Structure 1
């Protein structure tokens, strides 16, 4: 099981300081929460999209297909289409192409432009586009701009509870990047009340609790994440990390072995294997910087 395809990414991970062990363990960021190759050939929106005419739909599908095949060419095609009056759909394809190339700043700008165009057209997907912009700003290392976009999304009146919860989760990521852990905690707790079935909420809440030196809360939250997605290697790895920090080395090593054996080709699996190979270490856990990947 992977995390839901909702936004882009989260990373709360340990910084430099040698190979970690179950007492000084890596927290590998979970898979990105949205990727261009996962986008359906229709409009990438969770809000109801206005009906496309046949010509627009065909051009959009062709543009998205080009994103998958050659993102650089897709940028050229989408830019030409936008000049020709392609409107929101041209901007969305352009945004997908920038995301495919991990050009996060231009992607964020394009999504903000799509949001402005949606507002002028009375298109209720404006909130979606603002959320996409916010996530791209996080990935671009500009959390302040991310907060502005996400706050604008939260200020709209047509968010479902599910989407509102995901926006609070994204806002928490931005607040951690700004080192405002108190605000991040408020957003994560709000997300937990709105989307309690999303394992990402409890994964991130557990990691934030580690940073808050609240290992009891971290244990409670990671167990909830395990109950929802116990086969996810990132969740299992963090469960091992927390067990090690709570002094249960046997459980930590067992969880690390499980990740290393069951998911050897993932970031989590490689981190677990490296930690096990390094052996025990008396060093305390390192402080975790936030690095949007």
Structure 2
């Protein structure tokens, strides 16, 4: 699955604007590159820059640096600060920053604050294309966490229109369909996820779950075995091995050092 940082960086590019490019964008690009390679140095650069007029550019760069360090709460705070500053300046980038804040709040397991940020991103009406689809996908994840599957389905169907190349969108759609008992849709959507990310243990695990519900024992065993092989120490791999145990299958051996 696309790492969180990669998802955030997809939306990091400045939004198109009719007016000339902001001269701060070149420094911003350098800061984003630094955030990938040396997040501590990028945060220090962002602090210096914020003190000398870096505004939302500096705060977003700091958020990306925190994300690289997996400090998602810290990242969310920076993205929210960037969004508020951009809103005050009537800059279209504000919606992107709110979407990034929502993604970071989800990574920090803070669904209520993720929803607030994502609502702000979507209500702005300025997101387009992949950025819009990813925000809709994250909003669907918030709805799942809140137990509102009907709202999640509405969000995910919108996300599939705008971010249909993201295997996570198809995986979530398949999982929702399975939970609703819609096996034909679940099988169709997990098939789309497999086309895009057959090497993802979470996708294989769900493929096994759906096959099992459809009484396809061979398909379930094959998918679960693949999930266990791909990620033996990750939750998806462990869950797959537990599922295989019902058949008396020997759990996949965990290679040394993994």
Check whether the contact 1:64–1:93 (CA below 8 A) recurs between aligned residues. Answer: yes
- Quote the Cα distance in structure 1 between the aligned partners of 2:120 and 2:218: 47
Measure how far apart 1:68 and its partner are: 3.5
The 1:86–1:46 alpha-carbon spacing in structure 2 relative to 1, beyond 3 Å, is: closer
- Quote the Cα distance in structure 1 between the aligned partners of 2:14 and 2:224: 36
Measure how far apart 1:39 and its partner are: 4.1
Of 221, 245, 248, the match for 2:189: 221
The 1:59–1:195 alpha-carbon spacing in structure 2 relative to 1, beyond 3 Å, is: closer
Of 199, 208, 225, the match for 1:257: 225
The 1:163–1:264 alpha-carbon spacing in structure 2 relative to 1, beyond 3 Å, is: closer
The residue number in structure 2 matching 1:44 is 12
- Quote the Cα distance in structure 2 between the aligned partners of 1:31 and 1:197: 11
Of 176, 180, 202, the match for 2:148: 180
- Quote the Cα distance in structure 1 between the aligned partners of 2:144 and 2:9: 28
Of 98, 104, 127, the match for 1:136: 104
The residue number in structure 2 matching 1:32 is 3
Q: Deviations over 1:159-193 (max 9, x none)?
A: 22443332221101111112222211221122234
Structure 2 alignment gaps of length 5 or more? 249-258
Bigger relative contact order, structure 1 or 2 (CA pairs below 8 A, ≥6 apart): 1
- Residue 280 (structure 1) aligned with residue 244 (structure 2): no
**Count of matched residue pairs:** 246
- Quote the Cα distance in structure 1 between the aligned partners of 2:49 and 2:106: 28
- Quote the Cα distance in structure 2 between the aligned partners of 1:271 and 1:127: 38
Measure how far apart 1:271 and its partner are: 3.6
Measure how far apart 1:229 and its partner are: 4.1
The 1:32–1:213 alpha-carbon spacing in structure 2 relative to 1, beyond 3 Å, is: farther
- Residue 121 (structure 1) aligned with residue 92 (structure 2): no
- Give matches, 1:195-274, under 5 Å: 195-261=163-229, 263=230, 267=234, 270-271=237-238, 274=241
The 1:206–1:93 alpha-carbon spacing in structure 2 relative to 1, beyond 3 Å, is: same
- Residue 104 (structure 1) aligned with residue 72 (structure 2): yes
- Quote the Cα distance in structure 2 between the aligned partners of 1:213 and 1:226: 20
Structure 1 window deviating more from structure 2 (244-253 vs 44-53): it is 44-53
- Quote the Cα distance in structure 2 between the aligned partners of 1:167 and 1:34: 14
The 1:39–1:149 alpha-carbon spacing in structure 2 relative to 1, beyond 3 Å, is: closer
Root mean square deviation of aligned Cα: 3.1
- Quote the Cα distance in structure 1 between the aligned partners of 2:233 and 2:4: 16
- Residue 151 (structure 1) aligned with residue 119 (structure 2): yes
The 1:272–1:65 alpha-carbon spacing in structure 2 relative to 1, beyond 3 Å, is: same
Normalised to the residue count of structure 1, the TM-score between the two structures is 0.71
- Quote the Cα distance in structure 2 between the aligned partners of 1:222 and 1:205: 8
Measure how far apart 1:60 and its partner are: 3.4
Measure how far apart 1:130 and its partner are: 0.9
Normalised to the residue count of structure 2, the TM-score between the two structures is 0.79
The residue number in structure 1 matching 2:253 is none
